[in-house]
Chains A and B, each alone.
Chain A
């Protein structure tokens, strides 16, 4: 036995568990598919500055783009990369199913629009910092509303672990305004840091709230967002300077990312890590115990395997995120001993892939509210995360953006081009005339200081049709299969978009703002795999397009990066992959952690819950090790 515990993946879950085990003197090895993320920080920042498309993945490696002889960047070929991953640059009609550009083998009918990283520190390298707790009813939606699935754990059980996660991450918030919708804290609890100040955009939305009529009987309210971002110096890192760049990279690391915890874990002499090491098979013996993990290694990020090995331990933890973890489980057939993959007697490995598909809307206010300042988001509207309506349609939270129209239309680039070249892609240069001098500065200033956006993060219901499998023909440079994705949204989820749009319309009207959200059409749906159609009757039930009394609407959705649900926890080994301890039902020395264990995507950004569950799992691992 080489180690007490082998962990696959050095993201938030792997790093937190390694740190806890290391502190207890346990011998731990982490296998990380990507490169050392802490060592590359300066290069990552430079890559971001030089990127032509500054998408969430742009700073990290392997580079999602490759430059041609003239310097123009186009999507890299993932078949030639050792540890590739998806990119938001490959969601277009022309390339979303092109194996030489798109990493994921997407089968549709809709595109899975979220991405992740394979690098030390994991996908949280490009997280926003939002550190919300879930609301208690998120854990019991089936019991309370008769929809989706219950979790095998409740808020009260998770609560102490939320507190530990908030300390590890360093969350800035004020308890006084976080106790909504049943969220509770122990007496005298305080977040590790004072709240991040609200932005002028937040203040403008807040001022309009009393003028917004209740939605489904619920009065909307703006709440400061708990953030994994320093409001005072914490863990030897600096205070946020408002770089407005949490995604894709904080230039001063005032935003927490898991390389912080990983570095702390690696301070323990019993914890070590192998980078550029891709787990390729979980080895199981006839007694259904995991006996080893086989891996491949590479030297060049665009090259073949240059080495291989096998490592054994008492316990094994797979923390590879909700797409690569099921991929590894499904690849592990053990020469026919586990023909459907490891931990998959239920057949649920890879099933119920979820996200928070976003309804994005944007508007221009009458007076300046000065976006493009401060962290990307400092407040949201949490009021619609729970209510009786959940029996009929998806719940959502509303994220207030501090970055103008950067997310919706790539500003300030688009509007600047409009005013200089004489075009109107933004909708803000109606005469399509070019301008220079004070006319230009006046027009551009008027536009940029009045732009803002609202993002509605929709609770997508778990569906059997949305799943991760193995591509039969698409591989990477290690000759491992790439993930195959089937993805769709339910009527329940789509009706959330209908209500989100109505809500956005009312908020903008109350603010006296002019909306510029692009309305989608049937034609958009034919060409854009992120556009869907929904037809409903007067009660919101599904209807046939064109039926009397029915309404048909078209929506574009965006990925939230909240990849969830592919090896869910449950109370029954027939319809879940792990138990409430995140232990495989099939293999008692195998733990699967991360957002894949979520039975539902719930209504908050997933990170804090991922972290809380990982810390909880580390306690179970320590108990097992004795």
Chain B
């Protein structure tokens, strides 16, 4: 049904994303993926950071069987890999594109107003995981019902599946 050649990079991207974000792969990319967020982000990263993003994915593919691959990527001494990973994480968390070099500059000199970013799309904003990690929904996008705020939310695991 799906083209195995095309599917492979998406699976790799989702697997790495799950390790970095701490959100389960089947939450990031559910079988019935209404928003197609994983595909959108893969395409967006490829279009906007082609070579650097390809470098991150190559490094991950070469080390994916290593149980510490998350740390190897996130704490990589090559900033091209480490900051590309952070850019990918922020896509998932905030639905926004923070160019890796802007993140590195912000890390080295963390002054307001913060690193530059673009909102990837309206759907991307509504699918941000930072909110779900806070056991809530993006501001301006709730599919919950009247009065839910009067009592406690489900546990974190119900949101992130991990």
Encoded as 1 (CB less than 8 Å from any A CB) or 0, chain B from 67 to 97 comes to 0001100110000000001100110011000
Closest residue of chain A to B120, judged by CB?
A50
Contact B148 A373 (CB under 8 A): yes
Min distance, Cβ A250 to any Cβ of chain B, angstroms: 8
Given contacts A251-B141, A372-B136, A441-B133, contact A197 B147 (CB under 8 A): yes
Task: Choose from A52, A54, A197, A424 the contact partner of B110 (Cβ within 8 Å).
Answer: A424
Closest residue of chain B to A413, judged by CB?
B94
Contact B19 A437 (CB under 8 A): yes
A206 at the interface (CB under 8 A from B): no
- Of the listed residues B90, B134, B147, the one surrounded by the most CB atoms of chain A closer than 10 A to its CB is B134
A175 at the interface (CB under 8 A from B): no
Query: Chain B contacts of A241 at CB under 8 A?
Result: 142-146
| Interface-facing stretch out of A26-34, A136-144, A400-408, A499-507 | A400-408
Encoded as 1 (CB less than 8 Å from any A CB) or 0, chain B from 103 to 140 comes to 10011001010111111011001100011011111011
A535 at the interface (CB under 8 A from B): no
Min distance, Cβ B89 to any Cβ of chain A, angstroms: 5
Task: List which A504-519 residues lie within 8 A (CB) of chain B.
Answer: none
Contact B140 A441 (CB under 8 A): no
- Of the listed residues A51, A197, A249, A432, the one surrounded by the most CB atoms of chain B closer than 10 A to its CB is A197
Contact B148 A420 (CB under 8 A): no
Task: Choose from B85, B150, B152 the contact partner of A197 (Cβ within 8 Å).
Answer: B150
Given contacts A49-B119, A244-B140, A372-B131, contact A441 B150 (CB under 8 A): no
Encoded as 1 (CB less than 8 Å from any B CB) or 0, chain A from 417 to 442 comes to 10011111100000010101111111
Min distance, Cβ A49 to any Cβ of chain B, angstroms: 4
A412 at the interface (CB under 8 A from B): yes
CA distance A421 to B162 in the complex (A): 22
Min distance, Cβ B88 to any Cβ of chain A, angstroms: 10
Query: Chain A contacts of B150 at CB under 8 A?
Result: 197-200, 374
Query: Chain B contacts of A373 at CB under 8 A?
Result: 136-137, 148-149, 153
CA distance A425 to B131 in the complex (A): 19
| Interface-facing stretch out of A329-337, A444-452, A463-471, A572-580 | A444-452
B160 at the interface (CB under 8 A from A): yes
Query: Chain A contacts of B56 at CB under 8 A?
Result: none
Contact A445 B139 (CB under 8 A): no
Min distance, Cβ A439 to any Cβ of chain B, angstroms: 8
- Of the listed residues B22, B74, B122, the one surrounded by the most CB atoms of chain A closer than 10 A to its CB is B22
Contact A441 B162 (CB under 8 A): yes
A242 at the interface (CB under 8 A from B): yes
What's the dominant secondary structure at chain A's contact region? loop
Task: Choose from B103, B153, B156 the contact partner of A421 (Cβ within 8 Å).
Answer: B103
Min distance, Cβ B50 to any Cβ of chain A, angstroms: 16
Encoded as 1 (CB less than 8 Å from any A CB) or 0, chain B from 17 to 36 comes to 00111110000000000000
Task: Choose from A197, A198, A244 the contact partner of B136 (Cβ within 8 Å).
Answer: A244
Contact B89 A423 (CB under 8 A): no
Query: Chain A contacts of B130 at CB under 8 A?
Result: 412-413, 416, 444, 448
Query: Chain A contacts of B114 at CB under 8 A?
Result: 413-414, 417, 425
Query: Chain B contacts of A249 at CB under 8 A?
Result: 140
CA distance A243 to B148 in the complex (A): 11
CA distance A327 to B108 in the complex (A): 47
Task: Choose from B21, B107, B119, B151 the contact partner of A52 (Cβ within 8 Å).
Answer: B119
CA distance A72 to B139 in the complex (A): 22
Task: Choose from B70, B85, B135 the contact partner of A370 (Cβ within 8 Å).
Answer: B135
Query: Chain B contacts of A295 at CB under 8 A?
Result: none
Query: Chain B contacts of A416 at CB under 8 A?
Result: 90, 93-94, 130
A46 at the interface (CB under 8 A from B): yes
Chain A contact-residue range equals 35 or more
A245 at the interface (CB under 8 A from B): yes
Query: Chain B contacts of A45 at CB under 8 A?
Result: 140
Query: Chain B contacts of A370 at CB under 8 A?
Result: 135-136, 149, 152-153
Task: Choose from A54, A243, A251, A437 the contact partner of B22 (Cβ within 8 Å).
Answer: A437
Contact B139 A403 (CB under 8 A): yes
Task: Choose from A197, A239, A449 the contact partner of B149 (Cβ within 8 Å).
Answer: A197
Min distance, Cβ A514 to any Cβ of chain B, angstroms: 18
Closest residue of chain B to A412, judged by CB?
B130
Min distance, Cβ B29 to any Cβ of chain A, angstroms: 17
CA distance A410 to B19 in the complex (A): 27
CA distance A603 to B147 in the complex (A): 28
A497 at the interface (CB under 8 A from B): no
CA distance A45 to B117 in the complex (A): 20
Query: Chain B contacts of A372 at CB under 8 A?
Result: 131, 134, 136-137, 139
Min distance, Cβ A603 to any Cβ of chain B, angstroms: 26
Min distance, Cβ B1 to any Cβ of chain A, angstroms: 31
Min distance, Cβ B27 to any Cβ of chain A, angstroms: 11
Contact B160 A425 (CB under 8 A): no
Contact A420 B90 (CB under 8 A): yes
Min distance, Cβ A170 to any Cβ of chain B, angstroms: 14
CA distance A442 to B134 in the complex (A): 10
Min distance, Cβ B115 to any Cβ of chain A, angstroms: 7
Task: Choose from B90, B107, B119 the contact partner of A423 (Cβ within 8 Å).
Answer: B107
A231 at the interface (CB under 8 A from B): yes
Task: Choose from B93, B126, B134, B151 the contact partner of A420 (Cβ within 8 Å).
Answer: B93
Contact B19 A436 (CB under 8 A): yes
CA distance A242 to B137 in the complex (A): 10
Contact A243 B140 (CB under 8 A): yes
Query: Chain B contacts of A198 at CB under 8 A?
Result: 150
CA distance A371 to B139 in the complex (A): 11
Min distance, Cβ A378 to any Cβ of chain B, angstroms: 7
Contact A378 B86 (CB under 8 A): no
Encoded as 1 (CB less than 8 Å from any B CB) or 0, chain A from 341 to 380 comes to 0000000000000000000000000001011111100100
CA distance A49 to B126 in the complex (A): 8
Contact A200 B151 (CB under 8 A): yes
- Of the listed residues A231, A406, A417, the one surrounded by the most CB atoms of chain B closer than 10 A to its CB is A417
Q: List 11 A-B contacts (CB under 8 A).
A: A52-B119, A72-B118, A199-B150, A244-B140, A251-B141, A372-B134, A373-B153, A417-B106, A417-B115, A436-B74, A441-B21
Interface residues of chain A, those whose CB is within 8 Å of chain B, are 45-46, 48-52, 54, 70-72, 197-200, 231, 239-245, 249, 251, 368, 370-375, 378, 402-404, 406, 412-414, 416-417, 420-425, 432, 434, 436-442, 444-445, 448-449
The 4 closest A-B pairs by CB, nearest first: A374-B149, A448-B134, A245-B140, A49-B122
Interface residues of chain B, those whose CB is within 8 Å of chain A, are 19-23, 70-71, 74-75, 85-86, 89-90, 93-94, 98, 103, 106-107, 110, 112, 114-119, 121-122, 125-126, 130-131, 133-137, 139-153, 156, 160, 162
Q: Knowing that A421-B110, A423-B110, A442-B22 touch, tell me 7 more A-B residue pairs with CB under 8 angstroms.
A: A49-B126, A50-B119, A243-B142, A417-B114, A421-B103, A436-B71, A436-B85
